[in-house]
Homo-oligomer: A and B are copies of this chain.
């Protein structure tokens, strides 16, 4: 056993999610979060660049998952199909965490600053995806557009998955559905 209780970072994340949920993001101070986790304010800011960052995973497993999935899709697949396959396989990361995801999204939905951070994380995800597409030989306007459009479909699917009651629909199923709707919209049924 070390001198400190293990997983300071995880305890801060947990405490922050609780406090932001209880009294709102702006009403919770970094000091309070740290205290609830048995640490000092200074330690909070050593782990997270700012108050918002504590809600967003550091080494985002979603990035890695998307890239490895994309790299295993057959070369013959069209860009949008490759993106679809990658998104669907990444859904596995969420299946056991629906309640946590709901809590997190509720906190984010209640505060504009947190929404800003969420959006830039999604934009970074789109960049990662576009970069992986370029490695497949997709040239630039198409790579960016396919990535952005894929993320847009994922956002819609995720929103539905979160808001539907209970544990009914599978996220990957909803993603497939959103992408179909997207096609219908673009082709102009």
Could you list which residues of chain A lie within 8 angstroms of chain B, going by C-beta atoms? 78-81, 112, 115-117, 119-120, 123, 141-142, 144-146, 148-149, 152-153, 155-156, 178, 181-189
Most B Cβ at <10 Å: residue of A78, A145, A155:
A145
- Copies of this chain, count: 2
Q: What B residues does A185 contact at CB under 8 A?
A: 79-80, 142, 145-146, 149
Known A116-B119, A156-B144; contact A183-B184, beta-carbon cutoff 8 A: no
Q: What B residues does A183 contact at CB under 8 A?
A: 186-187
In the bound complex, how far is the Cα of B187 from the Cα of A79, in angstroms? 10
Partner of A187, one of B119, B186, B189: B186
Q: What B residues does A189 contact at CB under 8 A?
A: 78
Partner of A149, one of B112, B142, B149: B149
Give the shortest distance, in Å, between A170 (CB) and chain B (any CB). Answer: 17
Q: Which residue of B lies closest to A115 (CB)?
A: B120
In the bound complex, how far is the Cα of B181 from the Cα of A153, in angstroms? 18
Q: What B residues does A120 contact at CB under 8 A?
A: 112, 115-116, 119
Report 8 cross-chain contacts, Cβ distance below 8 Å, ordered by A residue: A80-B185, A116-B116, A141-B181, A145-B178, A146-B185, A148-B149, A149-B185, A186-B187
Q: What B residues does A145 contact at CB under 8 A?
A: 152-153, 156, 178, 181-182, 185
- Asked if B141 and A156 sit within 8 Å, CB to CB, the answer is yes
Q: What B residues does A152 contact at CB under 8 A?
A: 145, 148-149, 152
